Amino acid sequence: MGKKAGWRKKGTLMDFENLLTHLPHASWRVVSPGRVNLLGEHVDYNQGLVLPAAIDRFVELAAAPRTDRLVVLKALDMGAEVRFSLDDLVSRTDTAGQPLPGWALYPAGVAWALRNAGFEPEGVEAVYASDLPIGAGLSSSAAVEVAFAVLWQAVGGWDMQRMHLAHICQMAENRYVGVNCGLMDQFTCAHGVARHALYFDTRTFEWQPLPLPPDTVLVIADSGVRRQLADSAYNLRRADCEQAVRRLREHLPDIQSLRDVSLQDIARYGDNLPQETRMRARHVVEEIERVRQASLYLARDDARGFGELMVAGHTSLRDLFEVSTPELDGLVEAALGLEGCYGARLTGAGFGGCTINLVDKTKADKFSSRLRREYNSRFGRQAVTYVCTPARGAYVDKI
């Protein structure tokens, strides 16, 4: 692929030709998608079933090798630059001894996790930009992690399965960045299939692409409300789920996670749990069942049935898991009143971010403009909408 080859420009993402003006001697080009979750929220860390899709909004990266042990990063969207040594990753500091900025922890964490997994990353210089909104729940962090993982894999010529790569990226976020996420985000960014959602079993790591209903698109609506996962109630919700398992083991000694708990078990033993813990557990158990049902609807190209499950999932996230916000609820309510919308729900961890809508392809533009108007009328805020289709997973080209 020649250096003059650009790529489809979306949103505010710079095309690759512009990236090369900042690094004209680049040797590699990496494209890594974001992800949206259609169903199965807050169940990946409970060993459940999820239904995400990679989307056609990306982190794009140009990189060149270095002969020393330094990593030099330039994040064009932030107008920021940092350099750190591969021989001093544990300190989480740059070459001047200053703490790494938050955005640089993700590539540094990938390098650290690769070394812990027995791989030796090499020094690189990288310039990157993205049209993924940061903090919106579209896995901009996982897209960055996977981008650098596939880059270092290409530079090192390592034979590594994509699932192993996803696990390494998850380790980076869990143990280096400090966010106790499950595997879904990194899995999706690495394994995306164009025009398909990914039915993923987070316990067995088995997965299957499932086509979206024909003549539909995904419309993402960004509420503009931001949250920081490491500082939010995300880790508290995970702790609630772990407490539920400990308490339920008194009656169900063989369970490993909420994945092993049935709807009947919750009905029978749920009253033995503290109220909030019971609510969290019920959401997870019911949400896993919704994913199972959704796979059947997708197999039948049943957009309406699938959309009803999305709405039920949002109601559960709002009332049982309590991770919604008035803005997210308002977006969902408004969407469901618009022509062409089959279903809507919040996506991601919640506490802000985006909603995901399954929409008739022919009505997507009108739907998007009306949704923005209604949101502004209700909240006095500007929502940003993205009409998306499922995309392929991260890939790297030698230039």
CATH number of the domain enclosing 319: 3.30.70.890
For residues 231 and 303, state if they share a domain.
yes
Please tell me the distance from the alpha carbon of residue 214 to that of residue 380, in angstroms, as a whole number: 35
Residue 202 lies in a domain: no
For residues 157 and 100, state if they share a domain.
yes
For residues 317 and 172, state if they share a domain.
no
111-126 average pLDDT score: 98
Please tell me the distance from the alpha carbon of residue 77 to that of residue 353, in angstroms, as a whole number: 19
For residues 135 and 257, state if they share a domain.
no
Cβ(303)–Cβ(213) below 8 Å: yes
pLDDT tens for 358-393 read 999 999 999 999 999 999 999 999 999 999 999 999
Please give the residue range of the domain that contains residue 64.
16-196+391-398
How many beta carbons lie within 10 A of that of residue 4, not counting itself?
A: 8
For residues 131 and 68, state if they share a domain.
yes
The answer for residues whose C-beta is within 8 angstroms of residue 330's C-beta and 6 or more apart is 375, 378, 379
Measured over the CA atoms of residue 130, residue 134, residue 137 and residue 140, the dihedral's sign is positive
Please tell me the distance from the alpha carbon of residue 111 to that of residue 91, in angstroms, as a whole number: 13
For residues 48 and 163, state if they share a domain.
yes
For residues 82 and 149, state if they share a domain.
yes
Residue 209 lies in a domain: no
pLDDT above 50 (res 5): no
Residue 355 lies in a domain: yes
Residues paired with 145 in a beta bridge: none
**For strand 70-75 and strand 124-130, is the pairing parallel, antiparallel, or unpaired?**
parallel
Q: Please state the pTM of the whole predicted model.
A: 0.91
pLDDT tens for 284-336 read 999 999 999 999 999 999 999 999 999 999 999 999 999 999 999 999 999 99
Residue 262 lies in a domain: yes
Quote the pLDDT of residue 278.
97
Quote the pLDDT of residue 235.
80
29-47 average pLDDT score: 94
Residue 369 lies in a domain: yes
CA distances from 236 to 181, 260, 370 (A): 12, 21, 36
The answer for residues whose C-beta is within 8 angstroms of residue 161's C-beta and 6 or more apart is none
- How does residue 7 score in pLDDT terms, banded at 50, 70 and 90? very low
For residues 176 and 249, state if they share a domain.
no
Give how many domains the chain has, as a whole number. Answer: 2
Quote the pLDDT of residue 12.
40
Element (H, E) at 4: none
Please tell me the distance from the alpha carbon of residue 33 to that of residue 87, in angstroms, as a whole number: 29
Residue 11 lies in a domain: no
In percent, the amount of the chain with pLDDT more than 90 equals 84
- How does residue 4 score in pLDDT terms, banded at 50, 70 and 90? very low
pLDDT tens for 140-167 read 899 999 999 999 999 999 999 999 999 9
* SS3 state of residue 265: helix
CA distances from 189 to 57, 84, 144, 220, 241 (A): 11, 25, 9, 17, 25
Residue 7 lies in a domain: no
52-67 average pLDDT score: 95
Q: Which residues are catalytic?
A: 185
* SS3 state of residue 211: strand
For residues 257 and 317, state if they share a domain.
yes
Element (H, E) at 116: helix 105-116
For residues 165 and 228, state if they share a domain.
no
For residues 156 and 261, state if they share a domain.
no
Quote the pLDDT of residue 15.
73
| Residue 82, domain CATH | 3.30.230.10
On the 0-12 / 13-18 / 19+ scale of CB atoms within 10 A, 329 is middle
Residue 40 lies in a domain: yes
| Chain centre to alpha carbon of residue 370 | 26
What secondary structure does DSSP assign to 288-315, as a single string?
HHHHHHHHHHHHTT-HHHHHHHHHHHHH
pLDDT tens for 167-196 read 999 999 999 998 878 899 999 999 999 999
For residues 58 and 159, state if they share a domain.
yes
User: In degrees rounded to 5, what are phi and psi of residue 340?
Assistant: 95, -5
